[in-house]
Amino acid sequence: MTDIFAAPQGFLGAPRTAEIGTARAVILGIPFDCGTHPRRIGSRQGPAAIRDESQLISPFHCETGISPAAALGLVDLGDLALTSSDIDTSFAAIEAAIAAITRAHAVPVTLGGDGAIALPEMRALSRAHPGLVTVHIDAHTDAYPIPGINTATPFALAAQEGVIDAPHSFQIGMRGSNLVPGVIAHGRRLGFNVIPQRELLARGIDATFADLRARIGDRPVYLSFDMDVFDPAVAPGVCSPTWGGLSAREGLAALEGCFGLNLVGININTVSPPHDVGGMTALLAATVAYDALHILARMRQG
């Protein structure tokens, strides 16, 4: 009788299981948002939407012939059971889950959720990987000079807590307006290498990331990719849409610039399905995750 019911689909069709086993990378959904945005709440629904849209992505990469899911033995652990807006309890659960994945020697690839989830992820990864640095691709620094734990402060708190090596960390793609003045200057005071979008495009994506790779070297890297780095024309379903962003081609080129880094954790966040158009933002986020997995698979092959 049970054979007539379809099993839940994992990301890219990967097995849905609670067992990491020998997987070299795992998918983990983190359906959490702080619930404080006055107009756009919905990124807690992001993991399910990204997972669903991933079914439109074929297994094999057109240039390399690699199936990232097969090469990495990818498994999908499903979503954490979290209560949005309950920061303390939820962050403890996120931190514990990332720690368990690192103990199994797998790379966590997490689907958010809003940008605040980066903080517990960095806390857990830093214990497993001393000297952790970040490559944070986003329209916003998320390192604002304001108090509290919220979507505007995870990277400021990570720097202040010493869980990351800020002077070797990069924040890339910042543009638009901010809640308070002096945000980029504050990020730089914390030690971050902040590269606004204007500077990124003026210098060129390839040149910028070549310098980034040279300066980071073989340090362990946490990659946090906020979908609002893309222009709302290609990613309308995000928490803080900001016009004038990267095209899909430019954003994926920036991601490809991370090839060669020692990636120990990857997060794709801020997809808000209630504000999505035909699932296009979730599909683009699934493509970001696929390309990130492809980078991991190629790195393993040398």
Task: Note the pLDDT tens digit of each residue in 200-247.
Answer: 999 999 999 999 999 999 999 999 999 999 999 999 999 889 999 999
Residue-range domains of the chain with CATH: 2-301 (3.40.800.10)
Name the stretches of the chain with pLDDT < 70: 1-7, 36-38, 302
Cα 256 to chain centroid distance, Å, stands at: 14
Task: Compute and round to an integer the Cα radius of gyration of the chain.
Answer: 18
How confident is the model at residue 41, as a pLDDT?
76
Q: Are 14 and 72 in contact (CB under 8 A)?
A: no
pLDDT of residue 42: 80
- Alpha carbons 183 and 141: distance in angstroms, whole number: 7
Contact between residue 219 and residue 131 where contact means Cβ atoms under 8 Å apart: yes
pLDDT of residue 7: 63
What local confidence, expressed as pLDDT, does residue 35 receive? 74
- DSSP class of 72: H
Look at the alpha carbons of 242, 199, 165, 79 in this order and tell me if their dihedral is positive or negative. Answer: positive
Residue in the block written with tokens 């808000």: 272
pLDDT value for 278: 92
Query: How many Å separate Cα 228 from the centre of its chain?
Result: 11
**Which pLDDT tens digit goes with each residue over 125-145?**
999 999 999 999 999 999 999
pTM (predicted TM-score):
0.96
Burial bucket for residue 260 (CB in 10 Å: 0-12, 13-18, 19+):
middle
